[in-house]
Structure 1
Amino acid sequence: MNKGKMNNKHKGGRKPKIDPSIHRHVFRLNDEENNRLLSLFEASGMTNKAKFITSVLFSKEIKTVTIDKGKSDFYIRLTSLYSQFRAVGVNYNQVVKLLYTHFTEKKAAAFLYKLEKQTAELAMIGQKILQLAEEFNNISINKK
C-alpha cells in the first residue's frame, strides 16, 4: 500500500496556518518588571499576552484604552435623566389634553397655570443640569 499518500491526507480539524509561530523564547522578570509588563498589557486592551509582547518588541503601534469611571457614570445618569425628561413631556401633553376634555375652560386654565409654574421650575432644574455638565466637561478637559 501507499503509506505516503495516507499520511498527507487531511483528516479534518483546523486548517494549518500559512506561517505558524514555532519559535519559542523564554525570559524571566523580577516582581517589579512583571508588574510593569502586566500593567502595560492591561492598559493596551489586548487579550493575548504573546501578541502584546511581540508588538512591543517590534515597535508596532500599541493602543491603550482608559475608561474614566466618573465620566461613564455621568453619561449613564445623564442618559437616564434625558429619558425621564421625555417621559415628562409625554405626560405633560396627555395632561393638557385631559384637562380640556374633562373640565370647563376656567377650571382647565387654573390647572394649566399651576402646571406652568411646575414646568418653569423643571426648566430651571434643566438649566442647572446643563451648567453642571459644562463644568464637568471643563474639569475633564483641564485634567488632560
Structure 2
Amino acid sequence: MDSNGTHKKHKGGRHPKDDPASFRYSISLTAVENAKFLTLFEQSGMNVMAHFIAACIFQKTITTVKIDKAAMDYHVKLTGLFAQFRAIRVNYNQVVKMLYNNFTEKKAAAALYKLENQTIELARLGQKIIELTIEFEANHLNK
C-alpha cells in the first residue's frame, strides 16, 4: 500500500540497488602480467573477477586456497586402505569361528597357522604404511 491507501502493482524485475556501480576503468596487461593475474585470481577462490580486482585495489584481505592434489590422492587411497583393513578384521573373525565349528582341532590349527603367517605379513604392511605416511607428512604437508 502507498500513502493514499491504494495498492501498488508490482511490475516485476530486479529491485534497483541503492548504490549501483557505474564507474568503469580499463587497464592493459602484458602476457606475463596477465598470467600472474589469472594465477592470483584462481588461487583466491573468488568467482567474480571484478570483486577480486576491487579487493586488490582497496587492500581487502584475499584468501588463497592451495589444494595439493598429491596429498588429496594419498588421503583418499589411505582411507580406502583402512576400510579394507576393517573388512579383513571382520572376515578374520568369521573365518576363525568357522574353522573351529566345521573342522577338527588339528585341521583348524593347521589352517590357523597359515592364517597367522598372513596376518603377520599384513601387520608388517600396516607398519610400512604408517612409516610412509609419516614420511609423506614430513616431506610434503608441513612446508
TM-score, normalised on structure 2?
Answer: 0.86
Residue 16 of structure 1 deviates from its aligned partner by 2.8
1:82 maps to: 82
Deviations 1:14-60 (A, max 9, x none): 33333322222222222222122111101111111000000000000
Instruction: Give the Cα–Cα distance (whole angstroms) in 2 for the partners of residues 86 and 28 of structure 1.
Output: 58
Indicate the larger mover: 18-27 or 90-99. 18-27
Residue 82 of structure 1 deviates from its aligned partner by 0.9
Higher helix share: 1
In the superposition, relative to structure 1, how do residues 64 and 30 fare at CA in structure 2: closer, same or farther (>3 Å)?
same
Instruction: Give the Cα–Cα distance (whole angstroms) in 1 for the partners of residues 30 and 121 of structure 2.
Output: 62
Instruction: Give the Cα–Cα distance (whole angstroms) in 1 for the partners of residues 13 and 84 of structure 2.
Output: 53
Deviations 1:58-108 (A, max 9, x none): 000011111112111111111111111111111111111211221122221
Indicate the larger mover: 51-60 or 91-100. 91-100
1:24 maps to: 24
Partner amino acid, structure 2, of 1:109 = A
* Dislocated runs of 4+, deviation >4 Å: none
Partner amino acid, structure 2, of 1:19 = D
Structure 2 residue runs of 5 or longer lacking an equivalent are 1-7
1:12 maps to: 12
2:119 equivalent to 1:125: no
Task: Point out which structure has higher relative CO (alpha carbons under 8 A, 6+ apart).
Answer: 2
2:39 maps to: 39
Partner amino acid, structure 2, of 1:92 = Y
Would you say how many aligned residue pairs link Structure 1 and Structure 2?
136
Instruction: Give the Cα–Cα distance (whole angstroms) in 2 for the partners of residues 101 and 18 of structure 1.
Output: 80
Indicate the larger mover: 8-17 or 32-41. 8-17
Structure 1 residue runs of 5 or longer lacking an equivalent are 1-7
Identity of aligned residues (%): 57
Partner amino acid, structure 2, of 1:132 = L
Indicate the larger mover: 27-36 or 59-68. 27-36
Residue 9 of structure 1 deviates from its aligned partner by 5.0
Retained in 1: the 8 A contact 2:43–2:64?
A: yes
Residue 141 of structure 1 deviates from its aligned partner by 4.8
TM-score, normalised on structure 1?
Answer: 0.86
In the superposition, relative to structure 1, how do residues 58 and 109 fare at CA in structure 2: closer, same or farther (>3 Å)?
same
